[in-house]
A and B are shown apart, each in its own frame.
Chain A
Amino acid sequence: MTELLQYEFMRRALLAAVLVGLVAPVIGTFLVQRRLALLGDGIGHVALTGVALGLLTSTSPVLTAAVVATVGAILMELVRVRTRTSGDVALALLFYGGIAGGVLLIGLTPGASNATLTSFLFGSVSTVGEQDIWIVGVLAVGVLAVLAVFGRELFVLCQDEEVARAHGLPVRFLSILLAVTAALTVVIAMRVVGVLMVSALMIVPVAAAQQLSRSFRVTMGLAVFIGLSSSLGGLTTAFYSDLAPGATIVLLALAVYCVAVLSGGLLRRTAKRRRATPPSTAARSPMDTMIQSDRGRLTP
């Protein structure tokens, strides 16, 4: 491990991995809750256009990606609401527009090659510069601050938009806020895992965590733990085994998901068996009677 920290580029890479592992699952929990798991992918494709714009204009690609991804996220939210286009079609439009725009612009950039394109598509955490780390750090703090301030409202919004409206919450503002926060998270994760796998760190840790948890809060905490472990573990493994870091991180997260599915099944079966044990008659409350008589009960 100390060997890992000897290299300046690895220290930066590890810091980027920590920020991604921390932030992506937090926003991912809200996206999964809102059934917008693929939103990150859509925005990731748009971010590629931003990267290309940065390369073409010799500006920081991370900065231009942040701006373009934010605009893309707002556009997608407006397209979804205004044109009565369903969420998945709006996402598809983003996918195609973003990737086509990115490839076209990179092609126009003098000096840019397929290697440049590949490094953004699949991540190149070892080339993260000091400026990138600053931008990523500020974005991460911003995303976490937004979620700390608006978390309670976002929970209600992602749970049930109609109820959010009936509570008088600013539904349109919160929807756009969530989309923009997701866009900034995509930019944070982009350098580590690449735009094609950017959404994996937002979604896979959450999918794994929800196999093991019964509460929203615990799911989020567990997802962050899984996200951090996968990104740090994946990066370290990639360093020592000379593997592609982005892919290693994502595959490690998927492996955790598989383990979580198996252990979640076991946990539920044990809990079911415990519940099936009849309670003593002395302990029976009216509540027990209610459960017994409830014909709509899903679990025995």
Chain B
Amino acid sequence: MGDGQGFDNHFRFRHNVGVSAQLIGSGSRSSQVPPAFQVVDAHAAYDGVPVLNGVDVQVPVGQTMAVLGPNGSGKSTLMRAMLGIVPLTSGRIHIHGTPLRRFRDWKRIGYVPQRLTAGGAVPATVREIVASGQVARRRRLSLSTKADRAAVEEALAAVDLSERAGDAVRELSGGQQQRVLIARALAGRPDTFVMDEPMAGVDADNQRALARTIARLSEQGSTVVLVLHELGPLENVIERAVVLEQGRVVHDGAPPAAIGACARPGHVHQHPHPDPNDPDPRVASTDAHSEIVRLEVPHRD
């Protein structure tokens, strides 16, 4: 993905007053700016089966936070609930200080879903998909302005796909399609990103490239919430990790240290661990490495 040259220029405009204010220091962060996300006693269920069992999480503006946990722990559900995609059975969620139900400033949110492909059934070019990320900030019947087009070009440049802009999305590799999804989120010029396993199904090179993009967003003061299976190349970017297990927060703080060669960035995971019951409970709670094959079930965690 190159070195992200020019990225600072690309996304300088995203600094709003709130983001700048929180950069002064963590002390002023909580007192002046409402948190990007506030989740209070969140409960959610699929077909009567509880998935979230009273989750409390607060994400300050400007923080890069990972939600970790084994499959079925509720991490994707939590993230979807934070955006109103999954309804809560009880509890409440505020986005930038506004209750989710009344939140209208969606252009501040950049969502990257977990998808194996970026395209639909009808062919679409990379540029078309990326430009669709501006839907929340464009008025109906409005033609695209110079600024809109510039934002699309900048988003494409940020993920190094400018040269593929006119290509059909389905001609790209899985890793490149994931980068298209991230560019789509960037094109709306949001200051709050929510990404669901952006590294899933992406090879090591593309993972490192994605990590650089996310690191830049973080440096620019964006709020980034990532659902991750493992920290991988994002180890140094993540400021805080929330670990879920059976729909409850079991760890909230510094990212758990990666232990063993299998947890190192760049490691291609191809074998089961000999001892899934790691003696270190903190690591065990974040470690879902014991599986080899991941089954993707739509609309399920």
Chain A interface residues (CB < 8 Å from chain B): 29, 32-35, 148-150, 152-153, 155-156, 158-160, 162-169, 206, 210, 213-217, 219, 285-287, 290-291, 293-299
User: A165 and B123: CB pair below 8 A?
Assistant: no
CB distance from B52 to the nearest CB of A (A): 17
Q: A33-B120, A214-B167 known; A294 and B106 CB under 8 Å?
A: no
User: B174 and A216: CB pair below 8 A?
Assistant: no
User: B136 and A286: CB pair below 8 A?
Assistant: no
A165, A210, A217, A293: the one contacting B85 at CB < 8 Å is: A165
Tell me if B89 counts as interface (CB < 8 A to partner A): no
- CA A111 to CA B215, docked complex, whole Å: 75
B104, B124, B141, B176: the one contacting A159 at CB < 8 Å is: B124
Q: A152-B138, A219-B122 known; A166 and B83 CB under 8 Å?
A: yes
User: B135 and A156: CB pair below 8 A?
Assistant: yes
User: B109 and A295: CB pair below 8 A?
Assistant: no
CB distance from B123 to the nearest CB of A (A): 5
User: A32 and B122: CB pair below 8 A?
Assistant: yes
User: A296 and B104: CB pair below 8 A?
Assistant: no
- CA A219 to CA B169, docked complex, whole Å: 14
Q: A32-B122, A33-B120, A206-B122 known; A214 and B194 CB under 8 Å?
A: no
Chain A proximity mask over B36-62: 1 for CB below 8 Å, otherwise 0:
000000000000000000000000000
Q: Which of A32, A150, A164, A216 has the most CB of B within 10 A?
A: A216
**Set of chain A residues within 8 Å of B124, measured between Cβ atoms:** 159, 215-216
User: A165 and B115: CB pair below 8 A?
Assistant: no
Tell me if B202 counts as interface (CB < 8 A to partner A): yes
6 A–B contacts from the bound complex (CB under 8 Å) = A152-B135, A159-B124, A165-B84, A169-B136, A216-B124, A298-B171
User: A33 and B128: CB pair below 8 A?
Assistant: no
Q: A155-B132, A167-B106 known; A162 and B201 CB under 8 Å?
A: no
User: A296 and B203: CB pair below 8 A?
Assistant: yes
**Set of chain A residues within 8 Å of B184, measured between Cβ atoms:** 163
Tell me if B265 counts as interface (CB < 8 A to partner A): no
Q: A156-B132, A163-B111 known; A296 and B140 CB under 8 Å?
A: no
**Set of chain B residues within 8 Å of A206, measured between Cβ atoms:** 122
User: A163 and B174: CB pair below 8 A?
Assistant: no
Q: Which of B212-253 contact A (CB under 8 A)?
A: none
**Set of chain B residues within 8 Å of A287, measured between Cβ atoms:** 2, 160, 163
User: A213 and B176: CB pair below 8 A?
Assistant: no
User: B174 and A298: CB pair below 8 A?
Assistant: yes
**Set of chain B residues within 8 Å of A166, measured between Cβ atoms:** 83-85, 106, 109, 111, 113, 194
